[in-house]
Amino acid sequence: MNVHQVGGLANMDYMVRNRQNKWRMDMTVESDLIQITLQSLLISGSAALLASAIGLPAGLILGLKKFKGRAVTIGVFNSLIGLPTVALGLILYLAFSNAGPLGFLGLLYTPLGIIIGQTILVTPVMISVTTETITSVDDSIRELALTLGADERAAAFTVVRESFGGILLASSASFSRAIAELGVALMIGGNIRGLTRVLTTSIALETTRGEIALGLGLTLILITLILIVNAGLGLLRKRVQWWLWE
Amino acid sequence: MTDMFSGTYRRGIFVQRETRIAVAAVLVVVILAGTSYYIYWNQNQGRDMLVISTTTSLYDTGLLDVIKERYEQENPNVILAFISAGTGIAITHAKNGDADMILVHSPSQEYSFMNESYGVNRKIFAYNYFTIVGPSSDVAEINQTDPISALQMIYNYGHAHNTSLWITRDDFSGTNSKEISLWGAAGYNYTQLRDEPWFVSSGVGMASTLNIANEQSLYTLSDIGTYVKYKSDELISLDQLVGEGQELLNVYSAIVVNNTTVSFAKFDLAMDFLQWIVGLTAQQLIADYGVADYGQGLFFPVVDMLESESPTQIFGWIREYAFFNDGEDLYECPPGWRFGEYGLYG
């Protein structure tokens, strides 16, 4: 992760930007690229994991328990899926700003700030999709399990096991939305080089700078990353499902 | 189905498996959070972060990357965090205590920022020119005229033909506020112009506005840095129709956030950087930037000229355009808005 910092400080000359030093420049672009990609993965991966940690139990409760206001709650989370990222970015900027109520936490312009923002952004996706899958397998399977002598808790576990595919889909959708969003990363992170610069903010920056080819390259990396993670989760799904059923 | 259910409902197994899954999930989250915290801590260990909100033209041309690299090399304990935004939002950041310093190019906005006692110790560190660019067909025939008559000709042509002709950024950026004052000098009210059918509002940054102007054959006002970069990379075919001249002067200043008004501001750190950017090394970096790539400098250093008070034409222009009136005299930074003894003002 520190490749860029160390390399960048050690060889200053590339920044003089003359043509002879072009190769050094490319080297740095390369290590910058790796750093930005890792930062994206780390930030959005943490956000997706946190969202899963919050959304899975919440989805389970919403899917399995019948309580008053359940339909409204589900409706609220379904709507929150469509929350525009810039709107959330703006709200969080106002909250995290030094003049805002949460300014004392010092989260503005930090990776942790982006993680929190993206977690808030994708948790509704996690909750809604989990709730929906659990609701759809709920009745038949749960009753079957109960008839076969399972207690409530074991029956609930059977339902989760049955909806594992949907839960995994919820996680991968959360990750994809987190890594592909721009609004929160830009407004909370500020696109600071080597610190809060991620793939989407780089794409936006390079495009404004007229470095279209570089922007396109970053776009390809982003799409490839999303594909790899989803393929990985697909493989994981088979493994884990097999393990769950033993 | 029945096979899988029969005999597996011994409570113990399930509790055990649930626990295992829960423990694994918690572990993964803890490890990830731990790693990211460690990396974050490691990157910033003992380094102070100086947040500088800056106008897009300085950042998007890449000048500030060069400055960051050199400054951090000379001051390994400091991280320069540039937040690239328009002048308007840069000032808002500073007022909210989210920036320690601003680099902007809009004297009137700077004046009210300092007048509301948010900013102190202003130093002009670079200048260049805005430029009126447009399609090579140049339907309004403004080539080689002066900026004021050029705008009048564009107004007349647009008024007569009612086809889209001019694109404005309309985003309260430094470039936009320059445009508003230019239209004012030409005798038109910007707010009324916005309702004209030939007057297009982009609402986006300079680069995107240049792209739209290029696609739709429109005239616009651009800072020279962004224009030259786009032109030399052959991303646009717009021509520079009216360049240089007093009315098109573009002056960049650095203002330190006043830590008695905004208590979060890192005043000392910001002063270190202010002294550096008006120093020899930085002024040379500014002069050299872009020469190798574009065959011309994108920004001109200004500190030597201001210090020598040489009676050049440009010095007179800068003084008239970007100096603040305080009592009888014009100042780069009026004495009442200077904090501390840094020997910055001759």
Judging contacts by C-beta atoms under 8 Å, the chain A residues touching residue B2 are 148
> How many CB contacts within 8 angstroms connect chain A with chain B?
134
Mean pLDDT of chain A: 84
pLDDT in tens, chain B (346 residues): 444 444 444 444 555 666 777 777 778 777 776 776 666 666 666 788 899 999 888 888 889 999 999 999 999 999 999 998 878 889 999 999 999 999 999 999 999 999 999 999 999 999 999 999 999 999 999 998 999 999 999 999 998 998 899 999 998 888 999 999 999 999 999 999 999 999 999 988 888 899 999 999 999 999 998 899 889 888 899 999 998 788 999 999 999 999 999 888 999 999 999 999 999 999 999 999 989 888 888 999 999 888 887 778 889 999 999 999 888 889 999 999 999 888 888 7
Per-residue CA distances from A40 to A5, A33, B130 (Å): 17, 11, 37
**Domain-located, residue A17:** no
Is the model's pLDDT at A52 over the cut of 50? yes
End-to-end CA distance of chain A: 39
Domain count, chain A: 1
Distance of alpha carbon A181 from alpha carbon A199, whole angstroms? 10
Distance of alpha carbon B105 from alpha carbon B61, whole angstroms? 15
Judged by CB atoms closer than 8 Å, whether chains meet at B95 and A98 is answered as no
Nearest to A40 by CA among B28, B36, B79, B37: B36
Residue-wise pLDDT tens digits, A137-196: 867 788 888 888 888 778 878 888 888 889 999 999 999 999 999 999 999 999 998 889
CATH number for the domain harbouring residue A197? 1.10.3720.10
CATH number of B129-247: 3.40.190.10
Distance of alpha carbon B48 from alpha carbon B78, whole angstroms? 5
With tokens 């996706």, the residue in question is: A125
Question: Which segment of A8-12, A45-49, B185-189, B195-199 scores lowest on mean pLDDT?
Answer: A8-12
Per-residue CA distances from B270 to B79, B81, B123, B167 (Å): 11, 12, 12, 37
**Is this complex's ipTM strictly greater than 0.90?**
no
**Domain-located, residue A35:** no
Nearest to A118 by CA among A175, A63, A76, A74: A175
Q: Round the CA-based radius of gyration of chain B to a whole number and report it.
A: 26
Position A5, amino acid: Q
**Domain-located, residue A40:** no
Task: Write the CB contacts of B10 (distance below 8 Å, at least 6 apart in sequence).
Answer: none
Quick one: angle between helices A22-64 and A164-180, nearest 10?
A: 140
Distance of alpha carbon B253 from alpha carbon B29, whole angstroms? 45
Distance of alpha carbon A54 from alpha carbon A218, whole angstroms? 31
Q: How many CA atoms lie within 13 A of B257 on its CB side?
A: 27
- Taken in order B129, B130, B132, B134, the sign of the CA dihedral is positive
Least CB–CB distance from A157: residue in B18, B42, B293: B18
Task: State residue A239's pLDDT score.
Answer: 79
Compute, in degrees rounded to 10, the torsion defined by CA atoms A119, A120, A126, A131: 150
Which residue does chain B place closest to A244, by CA atoms? Answer: B17
Residues 178-237 in A contacting B (C-alpha not used; CB under 8 Å): 190-195, 205, 207-210, 212
Which residue does chain B place closest to A196, by CA atoms? Answer: B81
Q: Distance from B326 to chain A by nearest Cα, in Å? A: 31
The angle formed by the CA atoms of residues B11, B16 and B21, to the nearest 5 degrees, is 130
Judging contacts by C-beta atoms under 8 Å, the chain A residues touching residue B72 are 9
Distance of alpha carbon B57 from alpha carbon B178, whole angstroms? 14
Judged by CB atoms closer than 8 Å, whether chains meet at A49 and B208 is answered as no
**Domain-located, residue A98:** yes
Distance of alpha carbon A201 from alpha carbon A184, whole angstroms? 10
Distance of alpha carbon B96 from alpha carbon B83, whole angstroms? 14
Residues 284-303 in B contacting A (C-alpha not used; CB under 8 Å): 288-290, 292-293
Domain B48-128+250-337 adopts which CATH fold? Answer: D-Maltodextrin-Binding Protein; domain 2 (3.40.190)
Q: Round the CA-based radius of gyration of chain A to a whole number and report it.
A: 22
Region label for A214, one of left (φ > 0), alpha (ψ between -120 and 50) or beta (otherwise): alpha
The domain spans of chain B are 48-128+250-337, 129-247
Judging contacts by C-beta atoms under 8 Å, the chain A residues touching residue B235 are 210, 212
Residue B324, SS3 per DSSP: strand
Judged by CB atoms closer than 8 Å, whether chains meet at A49 and B51 is answered as no
Residue B49, SS3 per DSSP: strand
Structural domain boundaries, residue A83: 46-245
Which residue does chain A place closest to B229, by CA atoms? Answer: A210
Nearest to A200 by CA among A122, A184, A125, A113: A184
Task: State residue B45's pLDDT score.
Answer: 65
Residues 152-171 in B contacting A (C-alpha not used; CB under 8 Å): none
Residues 20-39 in B contacting A (C-alpha not used; CB under 8 Å): 25-26, 28-29, 32-33, 35-37, 39
Comparing B48-128+250-337 with B129-247, is the CATH topology the same? yes
Return phi, psi of residue B219, to 5°. Answer: -90, 150
Distance of alpha carbon B105 from alpha carbon B124, whole angstroms? 9
Task: State residue B210's pLDDT score.
Answer: 94
Distance of alpha carbon A176 from alpha carbon A188, whole angstroms? 19
Task: State residue A21's pLDDT score.
Answer: 42
Q: Are B174 and B128 in contact (CB under 8 A)?
A: no
* Greatest distance between any 2 Cα atoms in chain B: 98
Distance of alpha carbon B98 from alpha carbon B91, whole angstroms? 10
With tokens 């977690």, the residue in question is: A119
Q: Are A169 and A178 in contact (CB under 8 A)?
A: no
Detail the DSSP E strand segments found in chain B. 48-54, 78-84, 101-104, 119-134, 166-168, 199-201, 220-223, 239-242, 249-257, 300-301, 324-326, 329-331
The tokens describing A25, both together, are: 């420049």
Q: How many CA atoms lie within 13 A of A125 on its CB side?
A: 24
The tokens describing B199, both together, are: 């007057």
Q: Are B321 and B249 in contact (CB under 8 A)?
A: yes
